[in-house]
C-alpha cells in the first residue's frame, strides 16, 4: 500500500514557475513556498525594482533559483518576453501563477474614498482594474499556454477572491474583475482538456494582509476583534496545485484557508475545493 503524501512531502524539483505580481507580498510568499519545495521561480512585476529586490532576498535562501523581470501584463510584448525569459534563464516553463492585479484600494482615487455606487466610480480607475485583472490575466495565459501544451504538462493558477466579494454592494469593479477570472478559469480548463495542462483558481478564504487591503476594511475587522490573514496561508495549496499530485484536477476553485496540512494531500485538497463561483447549481467539479 502506498504511503500517504502530505504537503511537506511534495517536491517540485525541476519545475519552473512564472509568478506575476512577484514583487508584492502575496507573490513573494507563494514564491518562497514554491522555492522551498524545489522549484525555480521567475518573478514578474510591473515594478521591476520590487521584483529585483524580492529576487535578491529569495536567491540568498535558495541558491539562486530565482530571477526577476519587469513585466506589464497589459502589454502583449511584455507577457511574451516574460515567458521567453523563463525559458532562457531556467530552460523552460511549467507553471504560471496569475497573481498580478489591482485591488479595491486602487479605487481610492475616486471622488468617494471609502465606498461608492458603481456610477460614482472614476471611469479611468475602473478601466485600469479591468484591464489589469481581466485582460492582463488573459494575455499572460495566452503567452504561456503554447509552451505548457508543448510540454504535455503544465499548470495555470489564477488568484481569485471570495464569492461574496463578487456580489457585494459597492464592490465594483474589483468583484466584477474576479468574477471574470472565475469564468476564464472554467473556460480555459475546458479549452486545455486533454493537453496535460490544468487551470484552477485559488483564493485565500478571507481578507489577507497586503497593501491591497482597504483601510476601511482593516478598521472594521479590528472593531470585531479580527485581523487579516497572513500571505503564507496560500503556501500549501499553491505547492499542491503546482505539483503532479493535482494532475486530475482542473476547472476547480480552491480556498486555502480550508487546506489542512495535517491531512494527506488528496484529503486536504478535497476539503479546500469549492464548486466554482459561476457553476450552475447542478454542476460539480
Angular region, 254: left φ>0, alpha ψ -120 to 50, beta rest: beta
pLDDT digits (tens, 9 = 90+) for 50-92: 999 999 999 999 988 999 999 999 999 999 999 999 999 999 9
Least confident of 35-44, 105-114, 224-233: 105-114
Distance in angstroms (rounded) separating the CA atoms of residues 177 and 90: 32
* Residue 223 confidence (pLDDT): 58
Least confident of 2-11, 105-114, 126-135: 105-114
Residues 231, 208: contact at Cβ < 8 Å? yes
Place of cell 496540512: 261
What pTM was estimated for this model as a whole? 0.89
Angular region, 47: left φ>0, alpha ψ -120 to 50, beta rest: beta
Distance in angstroms (rounded) separating the CA atoms of residues 225 and 220: 9
Distance in angstroms (rounded) separating the CA atoms of residues 254 and 42: 23
Domain boundaries in the chain? 10-274
* Residue 283 confidence (pLDDT): 55
Distance in angstroms (rounded) separating the CA atoms of residues 252 and 188: 11
The β-bridge partners of 67 are 42
Q: What phi, psi does 44 have (nearest 5°)?
A: -110, 130
Distance in angstroms (rounded) separating the CA atoms of residues 43 and 54: 8
Residues 6+ apart with CB under 8 A from 140: 18, 20, 73, 79, 82, 96, 98, 100
pLDDT digits (tens, 9 = 90+) for 133-150: 999 999 999 999 999 999
* Residue 26 confidence (pLDDT): 95
Instruction: Give the pLDDT band (50/70/90) at residue 122.
Output: confident
Distance in angstroms (rounded) separating the CA atoms of residues 140 and 199: 13
Residues 6+ apart with CB under 8 A from 44: 18, 19, 20, 21, 22, 51, 68, 69, 70, 71, 73, 82, 100
Residues 196-214, mean pLDDT to the nearest whole number: 82
DSSP E strands in 141-256: the ranges are 154-159, 197-203, 253-255
Distance in angstroms (rounded) separating the CA atoms of residues 83 and 190: 23
CATH of 10-274, one of 3.90.1150.10, 3.30.1360.120, 3.40.50.720, 3.40.50.970: 3.40.50.720
Amino acid at each position: 500500500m502506498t504511503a500517504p503524501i502530505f504537503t511537506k512531502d511534495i517536491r517540485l524539483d525541476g519545475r519552473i514557475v512564472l509568478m506575476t505580481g512577484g514583487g508584492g507580498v502575496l507573490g513573494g510568499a507563494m514564491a518562497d513556498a514554491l522555492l522551498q519545495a524545489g522549484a525555480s521561480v521567475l518573478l514578474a512585476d510591473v515594478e521591476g525594482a520590487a521584483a529585483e529586490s524580492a529576487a535578491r532576498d529569495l536567491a540568498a535562501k535558495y541558491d539562486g533559483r530565482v530571477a526577476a523581470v519587469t513585466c506589464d501584463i497589459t502589454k502583449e510584448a511584455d507577457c511574451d518576453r516574460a515567458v521567453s525569459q523563463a525559458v532562457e534563464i531556467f530552460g523552460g516553463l511549467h507553471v504560471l501563477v496569475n497573481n498580478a492585479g489591482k485591488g479595491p484600494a486602487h479605487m481610492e482615487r475616486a471622488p468617494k474614498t471609502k465606498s461608492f455606487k458603481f456610477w460614482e466610480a472614476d471611469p479611468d480607475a475602473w478601466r485600469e482594474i479591468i484591464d489589469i485583472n481581466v485582460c492582463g490575466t488573459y494575455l499572460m495565459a495566452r503567452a504561456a499556454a503554447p509552451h505548457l501544451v508543448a510540454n504535455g504538462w503544465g499548470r495555470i493558477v489564477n488568484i481569485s477572491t471570495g464569492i461574496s466579494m463578487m456580489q457585494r454592494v459597492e464592490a465594483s469593479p474589483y468583484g466584477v474583475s474576479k468574477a471574470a477570472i472565475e469564468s476564464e478559469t472554467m473556460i480555459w480548463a475546458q479549452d486545455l482538456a486533454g493537453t496535460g495542462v490544468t487551470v484552477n483558481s485559488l483564493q485565500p478564504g478571507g481578507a489577507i494582509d497586503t497593501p491591497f487591503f482597504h483601510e476601511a476594511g482593516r478598521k472594521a475587522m479590528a472593531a470585531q476583534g479580527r485581523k487579516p490573514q497572513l500571505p503564507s496561508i496560500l503556501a500549501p495549496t499553491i505547492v499542491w496545485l503546482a505539483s503532479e499530485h493535482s494532475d486530475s484536477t482542473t476547472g476547480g476553485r480552491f480556498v486555502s484557508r480550508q487546506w489542512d496540512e495535517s491531512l494527506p494531500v488528496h484529503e486536504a485538497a478535497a476539503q479546500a475545493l469549492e464548486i466554482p463561483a459561476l457553476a450552475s447549481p447542478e454542476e460539480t467539479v
